Structure 1
């Protein structure tokens, strides 16, 4: 039985509703997800589907889509002049210099070039929830490659590293700056640290359901327990991290680690990127065009030594057009999340996009259905 489609689309975006309905029709009967989009600061798509209890205000763990919110804060501080991209990390954080890391710049760190994807022994759950604890341990860690010579996805730690620089430079946590300058002024449902009052709106992540063929494919080439990818995803720890379950842990939701701990709706994801590049509710765009362009410029492209795949990064953001959707404008900034979420801003078309789903998608990362949804929204936006 196919889920009913709820919500609205603006005139000219009817094809987006049809595409979303097609996604829901081919998914499991328990599908639950949301889609939201803005064009030049105006909400044009607001759709959701799911069992009773699901609506546009439902909140989901968005995993690495959290990195987009974290690095919007960094971009704002660079724009303010509080942070300088080409200063060494040690200018803000002297202790970081140990074990040969002293020459690394903030720019290189944001581009996943630090070689500091984890620690030799891994983190506990409580440590992963606490960005300051992660940062303290990483300051003493020898990098896994010479900083600046290669790049690899700092999956669980990049927000702790950049967050420590924010704290040293401002005296405020990244979470506090996000709340004061981004989330609260726009009323966004995109939390780095979910208040207890909003807990009833949270929908627990549901695990992947794989076909036998998918199970066989995933098991065919397991990574070694001390490989870079295992270290980056904390699978070598005494209590290995089960990525799918992270947002289901209240300590993760409560503390909101800036790499993976965000809780949001599709409205919150799209609203954040709309505010980044467009006037919204009579408020000027958070980012000046030059700032958005610098953070969206390609900085690390090619073989990612952690994931073993082709990847493309700007500064803190994924290069969305290069990585997934080449029909989007150059300089599109955003970040996907492991369960399937996707969120970005395309300054050239004025499009801001957010998608969430409850069940962890296969194979992980931006869910495959985003291809059709993004294309439909982008085509409608251009036609406007």
Structure 2
């Protein structure tokens, strides 16, 4: 049985959740409710799918405090690095269709220009696991160059790597999306957003977008970060190695061309940034991840064999440019896998988190998928509370 939760009231701003859940998932809804502040500034959405069916779909709080706009089920939320997981699934689909030979195929076989300066042997799987040696550009880029869809790719292709590709890792915060965009567009022969729509989001009726049209912009939420510095986004600690700090900050801003505050400018989302610029609903993300482990809305996105290739560990630990203390993240081929940073549900879970505390992943052992989106930056404990409650509901 299903239970309705809360009510929508025109002209008011509610912090309590609205939506529905199946019986037995009340503890999950309660955990989600605990993540919504009562200050009238932020909110979020949660969607849980089990066995290819949605069992929780709730939202609450404020989507844009500047105009008093509430969260609804249709609010679009920037999900930052959750984008990397979705973009990686497109690459996986192309591998399954034979348009990309395998994850061990060199990037340069699909994107020949990238082979310059000793990068020719880097495999696709290692590139997607942040082992590509091009986590940041050596030259400064303007925002126009970052967003034009061409300049950054050309710069990375020609660049001497920051370390020998494949031998170490460092988070390719923004440049990861260059790999996925180039691989998808060159292998499929169509624009990234069209392949996404035609082969993933369209069939699943998933509200997930890379590049927003003008008519979608009013659905966009406004994120809040009370402690954000206006000029940069960095989690570096004071005693971190100066070289590591430099390259970490360049990875986060591409030499100053873009910073995390820019993602509150709706016009940025008109452009394709495949590693960090995705927006969508929690239900849209969750149904995508559900389709990777079980038939969902009549679709199975990738096979069990491909799931195992994706989630096989490739990168873990502090990496080439550590700037903070543990815990550290771990990655397979473009997806985050369980670590001390994020344990998800079981050791077989895989997906990707986002800088706003967002979580999107699937668990093949239990046929579960979760999408949690919020517009309050950081605060990883919020998602962990939800996952702890979900484990209780599922008796895991």
Other-structure match for 1:214: none
> Which residue of structure 2 lines up, in the alignment, with residue 380 of structure 1?
393
CA contact (8 A) 2:14 2:60 kept: no
The verdict on how the C-alpha distance between 1:264 and 1:7 changes in structure 2, with shifts beyond 3 A counting, is same
Q: Distance in 2 between matches of 1:180 and 1:195?
A: 16
Matched, 1:279 2:310: no
User: What's the Cα RMSD here?
Assistant: 2.3
Aligned positions of 1:272-351 closer than 5 A: 272-281=288-297, 283-308=298-323, 309=326, 310-319=328-337, 321-326=338-343, 328-351=345-368
Say if 2:251 is the partner of 1:232. yes
Establish whether residue 352 from structure 1 lines up as the match of residue 369 from structure 2.
yes
Q: Distance in 2 between matches of 1:151 and 1:242?
A: 22
Q: Secondary structure at the match of 2:292?
A: helix
The runs of 5 or more residues in structure 2 that have no matched partner are 1-12, 63-68, 229-234
CA contact (8 A) 2:91 2:183 kept: no
CA distance in 2, matches of 1:117, 1:327: 26
1:261 aligns with 2:277: yes
Of the three residues 381, 384, 391, the one matched with 1:368 is 381
User: Secondary structure, in 3 states, of the residue corresponding to 2:35?
Assistant: helix
Judge conservation of contact 1:273–1:345 (CA < 8 Å) in 2. yes
- For 1:206 and 1:67, the matched residues in 2 are separated by 22
Question: Matches of 1:129 and 1:163 in 2, distance apart?
Answer: 13
Deviation at 1:22, TM superposition (A): 2.4
Alignment of 1:154-169 (within 5 A): 154-169=172-187
Q: How does 1:161-200 map to 2 (within 5 A)?
A: 161-200=179-218
Instruction: Give yes or no for the alignment of 1:33 onto 2:44.
Output: yes
Q: CA deviation at 1:142?
A: 0.9
| Secondary structure of 1:98 counterpart | helix
Distance 1:2 1:223, change over 3 A: farther
Give 1:361 shift.
Answer: 2.3
Rounded Cα–Cα distance in structure 2 between residues aligned with 1:2 and 1:176: 37
User: Where does residue 151 of structure 2 map in the other structure?
Assistant: 133
| Cα 1:271/1:223, change in 2 over 3 Å | farther
Deviations 1:254-302, CA, capped at 9 Å, x for gaps: 1231011101111112121112222122x13111111111101111122
Q: Contact conserved, 1:85 with 1:107, CA < 8 A, in 2? A: yes
Contact 1:277-1:288 at 8 Å conserved across structures:
yes
SS of the counterpart of 2:20? strand
Output one character per residue of 1:4-45: Cα deviation in whole Å (capped at 9) or x when no partner: 2211111110111121222236x6442311111101111111
SS in 1 for 2:166: coil
Pick from 233, 237, 262: which aligns with 1:246? 262
Shift of 1:3: 1.5
CA distance in 2 between counterparts of 1:235 and 1:127 reads 10
CA distance in 2, matches of 1:4, 1:86: 48
Which range moves more in the overlay, 308-317 or 27-36? 27-36
Indicate the structure with greater helix content.
1
**Distance in 2 between the 1:129 and 1:235 partners?**
11
Instruction: Choose 367-376 or 165-174, whichever is displaced more.
Output: 165-174
CA 1:77/1:361 → structure 2, altered by over 3 Å: closer, same or farther?
same
Q: Which residue of 2 aligns with 1:53?
A: 70
**Unpaired stretches in structure 1, ≥5 consecutive residues:** 211-216
> How many residues are treated as equivalent by the alignment?
367
